[in-house]
Structure 1
């Protein structure tokens, strides 16, 4: 059996007629930048998420940049975040000249450990940036309490978690600003790059809308130093179609995750943990396994692709060597990164495929 990790082509074929028509409609109008489909998508995202403002942008990375720019993050500021995430989380902090300050992770959820945040706060700290890793929000009550105590802002890196909830509220409504990504392999993906910034703050929303079009207040009048951070009309048209089926896809993802857990529960490795206050959108189904390289090699021989999200914690990446961290500084993140392995995960995995994967493992 040969397994498809994300089944993107399968999903396209499911919605092909509607997607092709939506794309053709944009081509016929040739309104490629900030066409009406952009506003249509933002309206639908606000309705789906419950957030007051959804502002589309060029990517999940752009979303993080826009969020920090809106809050005035600049050189010399410090942003507290996790070392166990995709590099964009900390890369964008450094790109603005601010300093990423890492905090080790919770051993069960793999999200930032709130109990270790307070000791890292200094007079230069401006933002706490938790990541909803693999589709599950962090412990937001604890994080928000710390932010309130020290008058800090909270930006949610929800690149993997659009549609997840914390105590019944979507993670698009958490913190001061929340972001997500529409990278094709995400639970809700477009056919290229795309992202969204969510906020319930009217002032921040207006600033973000300006920042994504080079800081314009009106055409050729620039209030801020901004960026070209718009989401293409074509990509918005694609997500407009896919969003109609997203709740159904999320339910299927839950079912796939439950079937994985049932099939693998007697095995000798660590399965994913979901806090009872949260729901996960299962961007990944990741297990921890001791002999990862050997297992990955054997599974590949049997037609089963795997991935490692992520093999090197950020504090050990060469690009962050200037921060002065060393091996052993964040032992839980380091251990998890040496053991974590993601299995094929998408809404369309069949029972037969899940059983086959479990058997081969």
Structure 2
């Protein structure tokens, strides 16, 4: 039996009748972008995140860029963030002309170590960009306290944490703006690329709406230089159908994670942890193993797909060499990148599939231990 990292087809088949009907309605109307479905999804998702405003965009990367631009962050400014993330977080900072400044991560959660924020603060610091990575919420209160004390903006990258909470409140509702990727493999995913920003600030919401639509509120009247980053009606139709299932799907992910942890915590070097103040929605199920490359090859031979999120820390990527970081400067991030591996995780994962994954992990980890 093959066990994929993510089984998108299994989810699609259950929703296919609803989705095909929605597609037909959109195509019959020929209202293809910024129409009623986009507006409905913006309202529904903002309410889900306990926010007043949602701004649908074309990708998670665009969501980050629009958020930074709306906060008037640009050339000469610095944004404190983490290197343990997908490169889109840093691309967005670079795209507005600002400079990313990295802090290291907590070795157990892989999330921003807020205790290092003061160490990297400079007169050029304009914002903090915490990343709710893998599905677990960042410890937000210290981040917010630090930002308020220094007059900084807070922009949450919640691209992997749809529905996760911090102290009982959903991520996406803490910062000045929060950004979500709705990439097709996420907990809530479109059929391709999509994203959304959430905020409680009406002026920031309005500015993002203008930027995403060529800088205009009224067609052909351009108040600022914008971009084309609009969410289209077809993707919004999919997202509206999926939204009511999100909590159910997250609960299934959490149940799978609990089973994995019960069966693997004494086998692998580390399983995911959940802090008492937060919840984890397991966009990815990330463990640590020795001899990772050999481990992945062995599982692939048994039909089990794995991945590494992410093998090269952003501060060591060739594209980021201009920022002057070198190996050894973020030791916790660098060590994690050498050991982490993601196991299959999706709501439709069956008990049989999970047991196959566990058996393969046990066999290959224990075989590796015996050889050492």
TM-score, normalised via structure 1 length: 0.99
1:353 counterpart residue number: 353
Alignment check: 8 A CA contact 1:182 1:195 kept: yes
Spell out, residue by residue over 1:137-176, the C-alpha distance to the aligned partner (whole angstroms, 9 max, x if none). 1110111111011110100001101111101111010111
1:149 counterpart residue number: 149
Q: Which moved more, 1:193-202 or 1:46-55?
A: 46-55
Spell out, residue by residue over 1:272-311, the C-alpha distance to the aligned partner (whole angstroms, 9 max, x if none). 1111111111100000112100110000000000000000
CA distance in 1, matches of 2:351, 2:266: 18
Spell out, residue by residue over 1:35-83, the C-alpha distance to the aligned partner (whole angstroms, 9 max, x if none). 2111111121122221111111000000000000000011110000000
Alignment check: 8 A CA contact 1:35 1:233 kept: yes
Spell out, residue by residue over 1:16-42, the C-alpha distance to the aligned partner (whole angstroms, 9 max, x if none). 100111111101111112121111111
2:180 counterpart residue number: 180
2:40 counterpart residue number: 40
CA distance in 1, matches of 2:40, 2:116: 41
Q: How does 1:122-137 map onto structure 2 within 5 Å? A: 122-137=122-137
2:15 counterpart residue number: 15
Establish whether residue 238 from structure 1 lines up as the match of residue 232 from structure 2.
no
Q: How does 1:227-306 map onto structure 2 within 5 Å? A: 227-306=227-306
CA RMSD of aligned residues (A): 0.8
Unaligned 5+ residue runs, structure 2? Answer: 362-372
Could you list the runs of 4 or more consecutive aligned residues of structure 1 that deviate by over 3 angstroms after TM superposition?
Answer: none
Q: Which moved more, 1:216-225 or 1:249-258?
A: 216-225
CA distance in 2, matches of 1:268, 1:19: 40
SS at match of 2:172: helix
CA distance in 2, matches of 1:307, 1:212: 33
Q: How does 1:60-209 map onto structure 2 within 5 Å? A: 60-209=60-209
Alignment check: 8 A CA contact 1:263 1:355 kept: no
SS at match of 2:338: helix
SS at match of 2:299: helix
CA distance in 2, matches of 1:351, 1:250: 16
1:224 counterpart residue number: 224
SS at match of 1:173: coil
CA distance in 2, matches of 1:219, 1:42: 21
CA distance in 2, matches of 1:304, 1:154: 39
Q: How does 1:315-334 map onto structure 2 within 5 Å? A: 315-334=315-334
Q: 1:108 deviation in Å? A: 1.0
CA distance in 2, matches of 1:82, 1:268: 25
CA distance in 1, matches of 2:225, 2:118: 32
CA distance in 1, matches of 2:317, 2:346: 29
CA distance in 1, matches of 2:7, 2:18: 18
2:367 counterpart residue number: none
Alignment check: 8 A CA contact 2:57 2:230 kept: yes
Unaligned 5+ residue runs, structure 1? Answer: none
Alignment check: 8 A CA contact 1:76 1:97 kept: yes
